[in-house]
Amino acid sequence: MSKILDGYLYTKEDEWIKVEDGIGTVGITDHAQDSLSDIVYLELPNEGDFFGIGETFGVVESVKAAADLYMPVSGDVTAVNEALIDTPEQVNSEPYDAWMIKVKLSELSELDDLMDAAAYTAFCEERE
């Protein structure tokens, strides 16, 4: 079973977000990195870019497949983890430390549509 952490919110597309003071830190879940296998490339947006909820903000490529990255919330990108672009394999080893972007949330109520750890665990179990 994949590692699922409390204190994070999750999407059905396997992104996680941890929100502090209106800023969301976004990455992909342990389940996602495990499904993708060895991650070899990341394409991330620029600081200052705006994305609506559900829009594609980047791409993750592994030796098996490429997958779009989807915004869990609407907002402006305030930081991009540039170091991760050079070492994308960090996503495989530490998916919850290897954040991809930080975003200033434009609509806090969008968080209500995301899953907590218990709901995401049940969602993952249904897919297996």
Percentage of the chain lying above the pLDDT 90 cut: 96
Model pTM above 0.85: yes
What is the spatial order of strands in the sheet that 23-28 belongs to? Answer: 9-10, 15-20, 23-28, 101-105, 75-80, 50-51
**CATH code for 9-114?**
2.40.50.100
Cβ proximity of 49 and 106 under 8 Å: no
- Average pLDDT, rounded, for the chain: 96
- Please report, for the chain, the start and end positions of each structural domain, with discontinuous segments joined by +: 9-114
For residues 55-76, one letter each, b for 16 or more C-beta atoms within 10 angstroms of the residue's C-beta and e for the rest, the string is eebbebbbeeeebebbbbbbbe
**Stretch 2-21: mean pLDDT:** 96
**Selection from 45, 36, 94, 86 nearest residue 66 by Cα:** 36
Which residues 6+ apart lie within 8 Å of 55 measured at CB? 70, 71
**Stretch 107-123: mean pLDDT:** 97
